[in-house]
């Protein structure tokens, strides 16, 4: 429902429409996969490299960042910070290390991890940013897991567009970039370092 300037007693032309609510901000969380087995020495397909023990702990620490509705003991000093909202959609590169990074969060939220091609290593950052904008068109928290090169490319595009990048500009394994969209554009981006493991 919209109000007119007369209805809301706002200055302006009588009958002019005024929005009921301010623009909605929608957050998209972009996670770099946790630590995986090193490429050198791995004899299988690169996309099949599993998480290391450290990587599995980083994936579990990701759960502690979000409000999953579960009661749990929080063990780190940094855990006293506010929780991020509950995810409604989890998307991942097809690489095993990305899917495994989101698996504990998926279990905690009772959601599935869907794989999408545009999050694959080597994907075009412009294409990725376009897909992120499409995701931001609907409400609810989306968490995506991808690769360092994809995140770096996306951050470069955002910086060129004049978007404020809050926090250190880094893409450590297990870290998160929160892209906040408003009216179809990224208004800000903030860095969340990986959880301590």
Q: What is the CATH number of the domain that holds 140?
A: 3.40.50.1240
Q: Does 117 map to a domain?
A: yes
Q: Strands, E, within 5-123: which ranges?
A: 17-18, 25-32, 87-92, 113-115
CB contact at 8 A, 123 and 19: no
Q: Does 115 map to a domain?
A: yes
| Token duo for residue 4 | 């007119």
139: containing domain = 24-38+45-192
Query: Domain total for the chain?
Result: 1
Q: Does 15 map to a domain?
A: no
| Token duo for residue 27 | 């957050």
> DSSP letter at 116?
-
Q: Does 137 map to a domain?
A: yes
- pLDDT of amino acid 143: 97
pLDDT, tens digit only, all 197 positions of the chain: 343 444 434 334 344 444 455 568 899 999 999 999 999 988 999 999 999 999 999 999 999 999 987 655 544 444 457 899 999 999 999 999 999 999 999 999 999 999 999 999 999 999 999 999 999 998 889 999 999 999 999 999 999 999 999 989 999 999 999 999 998 899 999 999 998 88
Q: Does 179 map to a domain?
A: yes
CB contact at 8 A, 13 and 165: no
Looking at the chain, how many residues does it have?
197
Q: Does 98 map to a domain?
A: yes
Q: Does 7 map to a domain?
A: no
pTM comes to: 0.84
> CA distances (Å), 47 to each of 23, 86, 104, 123, 146, in order?
40, 28, 19, 14, 12
Which DSSP string do the residues of 78-106 spell out, in sequence order?
A: GGGSPPBPPEEEEEE-SSHHHHHHHHHHH
- pLDDT of amino acid 131: 97
Neighbour-count burial for 82-92, b at 16+ CB within 10 Å, e otherwise = eebeebebbbb
Q: Does 76 map to a domain?
A: yes
């Amino acid at each position: 429902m919209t109000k007119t300037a007369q209805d809301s007693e706002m200055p302006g032309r009588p009958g002019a429409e005024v929005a009921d609510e301010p623009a909605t901000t929608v957050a998209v969380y972009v996670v770099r996969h946790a630590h995986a087995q090193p490429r050198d020495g791995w004899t299988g397909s690169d996309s099949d490299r599993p998480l290391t023990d450290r990587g599995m702990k980083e994936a579990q620490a990701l759960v502690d960042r979000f409000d999953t509705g579960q009661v749990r003991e929080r063990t780190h000093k940094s855990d006293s910070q506010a929780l991020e909202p509950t995810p409604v959609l989890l998307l991942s590169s097809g690489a095993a290390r990305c899917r495994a990074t989101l698996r504990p969060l998926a279990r905690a939220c009772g959601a599935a991890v869907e794989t999408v091609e545009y999050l694959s290593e080597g994907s075009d950052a412009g294409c990725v940013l376009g897909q992120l904008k499409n995701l931001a068109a609907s409400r609810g928290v989306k968490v995506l897991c991808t690769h360092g090169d994809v995140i770096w490319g996306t951050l470069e595009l955002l910086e060129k567009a004049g978007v404020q990048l809050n926090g250190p500009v880094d893409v450590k394994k297990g870290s998160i970039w929160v892209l906040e969209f408003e009216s179809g554009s990224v208004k800000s981006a903030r860095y969340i370092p990986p959880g301590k493991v």
